[in-house]
Amino acid sequence: MTKFIKLASMGLASLAFAACTTTGNVERNAAGGAAAGAAVGAGIGAISGDVKTGEGAIAGAVVGGIVGALRGNKKDQQINGGTLQRPNLDKSTRYYDDQSNRYYYYEKGTSRTFYENFELRSQG
């Protein structure tokens, strides 16, 4: 039972850390990785017989969540040019996107556009 509590707390901690981004890539990838990892872990646990299905699912969810969060973080770094800095937006003129019903700005020095919450709209 203590193994279960340790794995569950690790999974919750990884999801809590993943919730600290502006783009949502880390969260989406962590959730998807956790779901896929839980399915694979449960399958391995059921087939092997060495590990219970529930414990395999928890271990798989933890590993999948961490791998997914790392993948989302890498995607964020690629979007922001390899840095974790927010884009430098020209807020002197605001544009409206009719398709998404959201306002956006151009980044200074590039032709990329970002929504007001710094989510990438286009690569330019």
Of 83, 87, 72, the C-alpha closest to 117 is 87
Any residues with CB less than 8 A from the CB of 19 and at least 6 apart, and which? Answer: 26, 27
Listed residue (39, 25, 29) closest to 66, CA to CA: 29
Residue-range domain boundaries for the chain: 2-79, 89-122
State the average pLDDT over residues 97-105: 92
State how beta strands 113-115 and 120-122 pair: antiparallel
pLDDT in tens, 69-81: 888 777 776 665 5
Q: State both tokens at 89.
A: 């937006």
**Tokens 């969810």 label which residue?**
61
**pTM here?**
0.49
Confidence of residue 31 (pLDDT cuts 50, 70, 90): confident
The pair of three-digit structure tokens given for residue 31, joined into one six-digit string: 């959730």
Residues 6+ apart with CB under 8 A from 32: 68
Q: Given a cut of 70, is residue 93 above it in pLDDT?
A: yes
Q: CA dist 37 to 29, 45, 50, 110, 121, Å?
A: 12, 12, 18, 38, 30
Residue 36 has a pLDDT of 83
Q: What span, in angstroms and rounded, lies between the C-alpha atoms of 17 and 84?
A: 15
